[in-house]
Amino acid sequence: MDNLLSQALNKANMGMIIVDKQLKVVLWNGWLERFTGKGSEEVVGQNLLEVCPRFKLNMYLNILQNALYNGQSRFCSSALHKAFILPGEGEDQHFFKQNMHVDPLYEDKRSYALIQISDMTSTNTRVYKLKNLIKELDVEYNKIKISEQISKHLSLHDTLTGLPNRMAFNDRLVLAMNHAQRSEGKLAVMYVDTDGFKQINDGYGHDVGDQVLLETAKRLKENIRSTDIVARHGGDEFSIILSELKDSQHAENVAKKLAAAFEMPFEIADNHIYLSVSIGVSLYPEHGQESSMLLKYADLAMYRIKKNGKNGYAIFDAEKDHTR
C-alpha cells in the first residue's frame, strides 16, 4: 500500500510538500521534481526555507506556522501571489502562476503542514487570451456599429451639404404629419428652388457652384427654427417642413424671411454672386392628408412663381395651380 500511495503522490498533477514543525521537508513529490529539477533525495530533510526561498517572507511563514501550531488551513490565489515554487534554471520565473493550499496534518501527536501547489499558468493564459479576445471583439463590434451608423447617415443625408436627403425628408414629413394629426395642429411644406443656378455653375465652375449650394443650405437653416427641417431635395432644389404652425400667416412670414435672406450676394472666390429663390408652400391639413400631395402642391406653387418672374413665394391655390 505504501508503494501504491507513493506512486499516486508522484503521479499527481500538482506539487505536494509535507513539512514538520522545524520546516524540514518530509515529502517532495514527483511533480515538484519535474518542475524544479530537484530530486526528492536531495530535498527531503532539508529546511523548506532553503529549498524554496520565497517561504522566508513573513506572510508565508505565518501561514505555515498557523497550520503547524493552530491547525488553520489557508488558500492563496495565483491572482495575488503569482508563484510559490520556482521552476528549474532556464525557465522564465515571472511567467508561472500557482495556487497554494496549506492544510494541517497529524500523525502520532505530531503536527505537519501539507502544501499543495496547483499550476494555473495555462488556465491564466487562456483567461488572459479570452479577455483579449473579448476586448478585440468589443472593439470590432464598436467599429461595425460606427460603420453602420455612418452608412445609415450617408444613406439619409446629402453628401455635399450634410442636410437630410429626399428619402429622409419624406420619412420626417410623415412623422410630422402624424404628430400634427394627433395634436390637431398644422404644418407647412415648402419647396425651394434657386433662380439661375445653372448659369452660375456654367459661368464660375462646379467648385463655385458647390460653394453656392452650401451657402444656400446655410441661409435656409439660419432662417427657420431649430425644430423645423430643411433638406436637399436634389440638384439646386430644397424642401422645408415648418412644424407646429399657429396659422398660415406664420408660413408666409417664414417664406418672406427666406426670400429676403438671399438679397445679399454670396462672396465666393473673390466673386459677388447674386442668387434668388422661388418658394412654393402647401399647408396641412388644408391642402392634403398625404405627404406626396403636400410635396406636389408645394412644387406647383413654386412653379407658379417661376412662371411669374421668379424670386418670391406663393401659397398653393387649387384654382391657379391645378395644371402645370
Mean pLDDT of the 151-170 span? 82
Mean pLDDT of the 285-302 span? 92
Cα separation, 220 vs 215, whole angstroms: 9
92 is annotated as an active-site residue: no
H or E element at residue 312: strand 312-315
Task: Tell me which of 14 and 130 has the higher pLDDT.
Answer: 14
Model pLDDT, residue 1: 45
The active-site residue out of 236, 270, 299, 317 is 236
Cα separation, 126 vs 60, whole angstroms: 28
pLDDT tens, 296-319? Answer: 999 999 999 998 888 999 999 888
Mean pLDDT of the 77-100 span? 71
b/e code 168-179 from CB counts within 10 Å (16+ = b): bbbebbeebbee
0.75 surpassed by pTM: no
Cell (9 digits) for 263: 438679397
pLDDT tens, 117-158? Answer: 888 776 555 555 556 667 777 777 777 777 667 666 667 788
Cβ atoms 261, 241 nearer than 8 A: no
Cα separation, 290 vs 189, whole angstroms: 12
What does pLDDT average to over the chain?
Answer: 85
b/e code 235-261 from CB counts within 10 Å (16+ = b): ebbbbbbbbebeeeeebeebbeebbee
The amino acid occupying position 194 is T
